[in-house]
């Protein structure tokens, strides 16, 4: 589908209007994504030192264990983190790239 120049201008204007109307939501979403990236960097930093269980990561980062588990689960879904064993009742997690070596 090829847009004419006029259609492209109209589309751009409509998108700008929608962004302006929802700027608060856009800003809130950007802030949340930034916070999530910060948490994931903290988790990755801990896992670079070797496999760890969720309570160890939570203690080292100062984050609640349920929040660490939520992020680990998401990172596992996208093959960033893998389970590498068990320590008692807990699974141990490591960075996926480090386990490929």
Residue-wise pLDDT for 65-87, tens only, equals 999 999 999 999 999 999 999 99
Token representation of residue 100: 């490929």
Q: What is the pLDDT of residue 100?
A: 56
Please, are residues 84 and 94 in contact by the beta-carbon 8 Å criterion?
yes
Q: What is the mean pLDDT of the chain?
A: 93
Whether residue 99 has pLDDT greater than 80? no
Whether residue 101 has pLDDT greater than 60? no
Cα–Cα distance list, 88 to 5, 30, 53, 55, 85 (Å): 64, 38, 10, 12, 10
pLDDT digits (tens, 9 = 90+) for 30-51: 999 999 999 999 999 999 999 9
Domains in the chain, start-ordered, CATH in brackets? 5-99 (1.10.10.10)
């Amino acid at each position: 589908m090829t847009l004419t120049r006029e259609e492209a201008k109209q589309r751009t204007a409509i998108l700008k209007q929608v962004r302006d109307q929802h700027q608060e939501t856009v800003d809130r979403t950007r802030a949340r994504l930034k916070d999530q990236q910060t948490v994931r960097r903290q988790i990755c930093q801990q896992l670079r030192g070797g496999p760890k269980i969720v309570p160890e990561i939570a203690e080292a980062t100062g984050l609640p264990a349920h929040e660490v588990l939520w992020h680990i689960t998401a990172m596992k879904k996208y093959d960033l983190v893998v389970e590498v064993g068990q320590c008692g009742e807990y699974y141990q997690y490591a960075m996926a790239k480090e386990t490929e070596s």
